[in-house]
C-alpha cells in the first residue's frame, strides 16, 4: 500500500514537471520606448522558445499593420501617422503542445502623439558636402511624413557674421526645398544667441 502511495506521488510530480516544461510561464515584451509614427513595433514572447514550432501563436493588434510574424513567437507591427497619440495593443493566444497549455497574453506600446517634436539630427560646423548629405537624408525622411515641419534651430558661434548665417540658411533651403521639393513653408529656420561653438539641431514637428 505504501509502495503504491509513493508511486502515485512520483507519477504526479513527474507529470507536473513535464507539464511545467511544456508550458512555461510566458510573458510578452513590447518596445522599450515610445514608438514614433511610421516605425515598427516589435513584440516577442518571453522566454525565448527553441521548440516554438510545437506551439501555435495567434496574434491580433489594435493599431497599425501586422507586417510579419503571425504564427511565430514574435511579430513586427508597422505604425503610421494615423496612429499618432494612441496605444497599440498586441494580444497573442498560445496553444500547445499539451491541451492544458493555452494562454492569452497582452502587451501595449505607446505611439507618440502630435505636438511632440522629434529630434532627428544635430551637427556642428561641417563642410558643405557633408551638410548636403545630411540634408538629403532629412529630405528623404520627410517623404515618410510629408505634412510635418522640418525645424532647424541654429546656434552660431560668437565669430559668425549675419552674412554667414544668412548664407547657411539659404544653403539649407536651396537643398531641402529647391532640390528635394519640400514645401518652403514646412522648412523653418530660427537662430539662437551665439555661443562658443556653432551647432544646429533639427526637429520634426507635426502640423496638427
DSSP assignments along 17-51, one per residue: HHHHHHS---EEE--SSPBPTTSEEEEEEES--TT
Q: How far apart are CA 43 and CA 59, in angstroms?
A: 10
Are residues 92 and 136 located together in one domain of the fold?
no
86 burial via Cβ count (<10 Å: 0-12, 13-18, 19+): middle
Give helix 162-173 / helix 128-144 axis angle, nearest 10°.
50
pTM of this structure: 0.49
The answer to whether residue 34 is domain-embedded is yes
The answer to whether residue 17 is domain-embedded is no
- The set of cell numbers assigned to 104 is 492569452
pLDDT for residue 184 is more than 80: yes
Q: What is the mean pLDDT of the chain?
A: 87
pLDDT for residue 25 is more than 90: no
Count structural domains, the chain: 2
What is the pLDDT, as a whole number, of residue 3? 56
Are residues 153 and 83 located together in one domain of the fold?
no
Q: What is the pLDDT of residues 198-207, one digit of tens each?
A: 999 999 887 6
Are residues 122 and 190 located together in one domain of the fold?
yes
- The set of cell numbers assigned to 170 is 539659404
pLDDT for residue 76 is more than 90: yes
Q: Cis bond leading into 47, ω under 30°?
A: yes
Q: Provide mean pLDDT across the span 182-190.
A: 95
- For residues 194 and 158, is the Cβ–Cβ distance under 8 A? yes
DSSP single-letter state for residue 52: G
Owning domain of residue 99 = 26-110
Q: How far apart are CA 135 and CA 111, in angstroms?
A: 26
Are residues 69 and 99 located together in one domain of the fold?
yes
What is the pLDDT, as a whole number, of residue 208? 55
The answer to whether residue 159 is domain-embedded is yes
What is the pLDDT, as a whole number, of residue 187? 96
How many residues are present in the chain? Answer: 208
Are residues 125 and 200 located together in one domain of the fold?
yes
Amino acid at each position: 500500500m505504501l509502495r503504491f502511495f509513493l508511486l502515485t506521488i512520483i507519477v504526479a510530480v513527474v507529470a507536473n514537471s513535464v507539464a511545467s516544461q511544456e508550458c512555461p510561464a510566458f510573458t510578452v515584451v513590447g518596445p522599450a520606448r515610445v514608438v514614433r509614427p511610421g516605425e515598427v513595433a516589435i513584440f516577442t514572447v518571453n522566454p525565448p522558445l527553441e521548440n516554438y514550432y510545437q506551439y501555435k501563436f495567434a496574434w491580433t493588434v489594435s493599431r497599425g499593420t501586422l507586417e510579419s510574424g503571425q504564427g511565430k513567437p514574435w511579430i513586427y507591427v508597422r505604425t503610421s501617422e494615423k496612429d499618432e497619440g494612441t496605444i497599440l495593443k498586441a494580444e497573442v493566444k498560445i496553444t500547445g503542445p499539451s491541451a492544458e497549455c493555452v494562454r492569452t497574453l497582452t502587451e501595449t506600446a505607446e505611439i507618440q502623439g502630435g505636438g511632440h517634436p522629434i529630434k532627428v539630427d544635430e551637427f556642428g560646423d561641417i563642410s558643405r558636402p557633408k551638410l548636403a548629405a545630411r540634408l538629403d537624408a532629412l529630405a528623404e525622411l520627410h517623404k515618410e511624413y510629408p505634412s510635418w515641419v522640418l525645424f532647424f534651430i541654429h546656434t552660431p558661434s560668437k565669430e559668425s557674421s549675419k552674412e554667414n548665417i544668412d548664407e547657411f540658411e539659404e544653403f539649407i533651403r536651396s537643398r531641402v526645398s529647391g532640390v528635394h521639393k519640400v514645401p518652403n513653408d514646412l522648412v523653418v529656420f530660427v537662430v539662437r544667441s551665439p555661443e562658443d561653438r556653432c551647432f544646429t539641431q533639427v526637429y520634426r514637428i507635426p502640423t496638427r
